[in-house]
Structure 1
Amino acid sequence: MIGSCCFTSLKDIKEGECSNLSCQIVHISKVYKDRWYLFVWDGTEMPPCNILVKSERLPLCVEPEMLPTYMLRKFPTFGSVLRIIVDRVSEKQAIHCLQPGQHVKLLNLFFQVNMGLWNATFTPSTKMQYTMSREMEAFSPQRMCGEKFSPRWNPIARCISRSHSEITGVAHDDAPFVSLMDILTYHNVTAKFRCVVRFIQVYPRDVRKLRDINGNIKLVAILEDATARIHASLYADEGEKFFGCDESDEEALVKKLNRLLGGEEMEKVPRNPPWVQCCLFSFYKHKMDQWESRRFRIFDTWINAS
């Protein structure tokens, strides 16, 4: 059991180990009759995970379904939010007194990774303590990250400081970087964004199936950063721009996808996808239900020649 004076930031957690965490309660959700989720945050980013799954489609979140936008707007847009799975009766009784916004110390949490997503569970020796007011100052976003605003595209540029590889290029180098949580919670349905992400999975994986019956490139990618995962599509002329090679050159397509996905071969695991820059725009499929039908598409982005 870890001493109660030794705390680990989310950026330093390790899979398969127990740690103490000082954090803020962001959200509490009852998903099933016997399962609750605690969403907690300490302002730091959890380590990116290797992708160990070969063929199964990766989920977007730990919980069964992504929370609706109005709930996500209460989440911080930088740093990672950890999901703590609560199953035992005694644990559920303990969380009834918790409220979003409270700061707590959780002692002896067990950290694990499933499908490339971090989560934590209580152990028999897990304890919970409230944080004193003087200790809450460390959670102030202004102390962690000064906000910067730009008129370019949207005024939500945060402290997105993660470096990215030169694998991709974009046509809008002057646009600010934003997080995927910024994008998910943006107040307009349609907008344009620039972000730093990992391409953790693409469909179809077979380059011979990249084109639809009309000959247009049609691909869906799962993008990830420290704040969220999203689906983003790549279609038609933007797909041609993205790959930048002749449609008959399957070898070149495979090589570029392998670089993007962080492996010598798409089907091999583990993979460690690189951080790349990417431009996205959001749109809706149904005018009468714009938010529910909101989607994301990659544009003005390309894979550089190796």
Structure 2
Amino acid sequence: MHVSLSHCRTNRTMAAAAAHERKRQREGNAAPSTAAAAAGEAQYVYLPIADALKVPGVRVCLFAAVSEIGAVVRSRGTDFTLTLRIVDQSRTSGISVTFFADNTALLPCVRSTGDVISLHNVVITMHYGEFFVTVNKKFSSFALFEGKVSTEFRPYQASMKYHGSKHDDGILTQTRMWLVYHPPGLKDLELQLSSIKSDSTFDLVCKVLHVCQAPSGEWIFYVWDGTDAPTTEFQTFSDTEAVPSVPLHLEGAPLPREVLCTLPCIGTVLRVFTNKFSKEILHLQKDIYWARFCNITCKHEFGIWKGTLLPSSRVRLLSNEDGSVVERSKMYDSRCAIQVHRQPMAGLHKAPDITDVEYKRAGYTTLMESLTHGQVTHKFKTLVRIVAAYPCQGNDLHSLVTGNYCLRLTLEDPTARIHAYVHKEDGVRFFGGFLTPDALTRKMNRLLGVPEPEEADEEGTPLTRNPPWVWCCLKSYRLDKDDPWGSRRYRIFGTEIRD
């Protein structure tokens, strides 16, 4: 007899299912659903997950939603294995389902979290005090359906032994309607990189572009979602003119050029650190995947955002057809379609007229576009923040424009951070002439976002500085023709700080 989800929570149903299974096993017959399917009369008793847990060891049928997608890995033997987590209205915390197959094509390929799975002849088992659903290659079967209410009832993937029944459509409809109001995952905790906040925990749907191990032993995920992380402020003090230098990379050494050139040229690539090795790391090292990083946190170090996996964090793989993935891909395509939207989100339509540049009609280029440019020498116009300078005191700056010295500035945009130099011949134009040390200091403080002295409540009070977005012209060059990429440098030219 077919029983809907809303009518399966009875001891009679469970007892009948258990008795039927014991009788079938004693008689050594094939699954009755298989025989019935051959006669075109297949009918199944689908138990809610909570009720199925009460009859461990018995073959049951389940209809549930997929809340998490694991990585496909090779088992200790010759099989491939995949673990999904499924939920229904009786158990929103879910239960794990493990599949084994001779090749990956026989495993479920879930398009999106929130899709529905039908499982026939699976067994509830317990391991280390936790319940699991075990799928047996010999007698279990599955089918996957889209989770949206408006889609058809036909499965987009079904195993060879799976046979549905005419009554399944009603259960599928009920499950889809429940998902409308109870989608898997906590959407209110799901953020984009453009919305992250320091020291908060959240879920991040992102593309994992690269995974490597740092010299410290930590693993680093390089993740991206097409948006720009928020700009950060820097601490400074009112009793000193010095602005300390800042590193270009959180991971110490820069990425090899062959890896760097695979990264997107628009949007922030966040570094997420973890001390814990996982099978997802092994899987993500092999290819580029979208994933959901659950319950992670972020903070900024030296003005660079740093993600961290907590002990409670998890990494769940997503397919390219997952709803959140499709949404982010569309947003990124829309951003790329309009030239001005390629500019930093935080600086869009807000760049003050602090600088005047020579290449007014030149298009906008991100720092990452230049770093991955095919030639060592490259001229371009960009929109950046100047986050550090050396030297930055008035007397030293005066020596720069009157002697044979150079100024090193640290520039950043959402895609990268670089050093750029201002040489003597460009220094006079950069500062707008041969100015006094005090005038040079005022201009430099403007670029660095250093607050005016009167903004401090008292001497020595820590203040924050927020460098503004400024336009500048850059060109790259090499110091050593035998090592052009390793000796590549940037210099500022054709740029002047306005009064």
Asked if Structure 1 and Structure 2 have the same fold, meaning a TM-score greater than 0.5 normalized by the shorter chain, the answer is yes
Partner of 1:270: helix, strand, or coil?
A: strand
Work out whether 1:4 is the aligned partner of 2:191. no
Distance 1:214 1:286, change over 3 A: farther
Q: Distance in 2 between matches of 1:108 and 1:264?
A: 36
- Structure 2 matches for 1:10-159, cutoff 5 A? 10-32=193-215, 34-52=217-235, 55-88=243-276, 91-99=277-285, 100-135=287-322, 136-137=325-326, 138-139=328-329, 141-146=332-337, 159=342
8 Å contact from structure 1 (residues 171, 300) kept in 2? yes
1:93 is displaced (CA, Å) by 4.5
Q: CA RMSD of the aligned region, Å?
A: 2.3
Greater helix share, structure number: 2
1:92 is displaced (CA, Å) by 4.1
2:426 aligned to which of 231, 238, 251: 238
Q: Distance in 2 between matches of 1:216 and 1:244?
A: 17
Q: Distance in 1 between matches of 2:317 and 2:400?
A: 56
**Structure 1 match to 2:489:** 295
- Structure 2 matches for 1:185-204, cutoff 5 A? 185-204=372-391
Query: Bigger CA drift: 276-285 or 60-69?
Result: 60-69
- Structure 2 matches for 1:275-286, cutoff 5 A? 275-286=469-480
**Structure 2 match to 1:263:** 450
8 Å contact from structure 2 (residues 355, 498) kept in 1? yes
2:406 aligned to which of 183, 196, 218: 218
Q: Distance in 2 between matches of 1:122 and 1:173?
A: 44
Q: Distance in 2 between matches of 1:238 and 1:265?
A: 27
Q: Distance in 2 between matches of 1:160 and 1:178?
A: 8
Counterpart amino acid of residue 142 in structure 1: D
1:134 is displaced (CA, Å) by 1.6
Q: Distance in 2 between matches of 1:53 and 1:65?
A: 26
Distance 1:53 1:184, change over 3 A: farther
Counterpart amino acid of residue 329 in structure 2: F
**Structure 1 match to 2:363:** 176
Partner of 1:32: helix, strand, or coil?
A: coil
1:130 is displaced (CA, Å) by 1.6
8 Å contact from structure 2 (residues 400, 407) kept in 1? no
Q: Distance in 1 between matches of 2:262 and 2:270?
A: 15
Work out whether 1:167 is the aligned partner of 2:354. yes
Percent of paired sites with the same residue: 34
8 Å contact from structure 1 (residues 22, 104) kept in 2? yes
8 Å contact from structure 1 (residues 52, 115) kept in 2? no
Q: Distance in 1 between matches of 2:396 and 2:263?
A: 38
**Structure 2 match to 1:151:** none
Partner of 1:286: helix, strand, or coil?
A: coil
Question: Which one scores higher on RCO, CA 8 angstroms, separation ≥ 6?
Answer: 1
8 Å contact from structure 1 (residues 191, 283) kept in 2? yes
Distance 1:26 1:227, change over 3 A: same
Kindly provide the CA deviation profile for residues 206-249 of structure 1, in whole angstroms up to 9, marking residues without a partner as x: 221233698135100000000000000001121100001324x1
Q: Distance in 2 between matches of 1:204 and 1:125?
A: 44
Counterpart amino acid of residue 189 in structure 1: V
Kindly provide the CA deviation profile for residues 91-110 of structure 1, in whole angstroms up to 9, marking residues without a partner as x: 44442221442000111001
Partner of 1:109: helix, strand, or coil?
A: strand
Distance 1:158 1:11, change over 3 A: closer
Q: Which runs of 5+ in 2 are unaligned?
A: 1-184, 238-242, 454-459
Q: Which runs of 5+ in 1 are unaligned?
A: 149-156
Q: Distance in 1 between matches of 2:443 and 2:429?
A: 13
8 Å contact from structure 2 (residues 401, 424) kept in 1? no
1:257 is displaced (CA, Å) by 0.5
Partner of 1:145: helix, strand, or coil?
A: helix
8 Å contact from structure 2 (residues 401, 428) kept in 1? no
Counterpart amino acid of residue 41 in structure 1: W
Counterpart amino acid of residue 10 in structure 1: L
Larger radius of gyration: 2
1:20 is displaced (CA, Å) by 0.4
State the aligned residue count: 292
Q: Distance in 2 between matches of 1:177 and 1:144?
A: 14
1:16 is displaced (CA, Å) by 0.8
User: With structure 1 as the length reference, what TM-score do the two structures score?
Assistant: 0.88
Q: Distance in 1 between matches of 2:445 and 2:320?
A: 49
Counterpart amino acid of residue 5 in structure 1: K
1:128 is displaced (CA, Å) by 1.8
Partner of 1:201: helix, strand, or coil?
A: strand
8 Å contact from structure 1 (residues 166, 304) kept in 2? yes
Counterpart amino acid of residue 337 in structure 2: G
Counterpart amino acid of residue 201 in structure 2: C
Partner of 1:46: helix, strand, or coil?
A: coil
Q: Distance in 2 between matches of 1:121 and 1:139?
A: 24
User: With structure 2 as the length reference, what TM-score do the two structures score?
Assistant: 0.55
Counterpart amino acid of residue 282 in structure 2: H
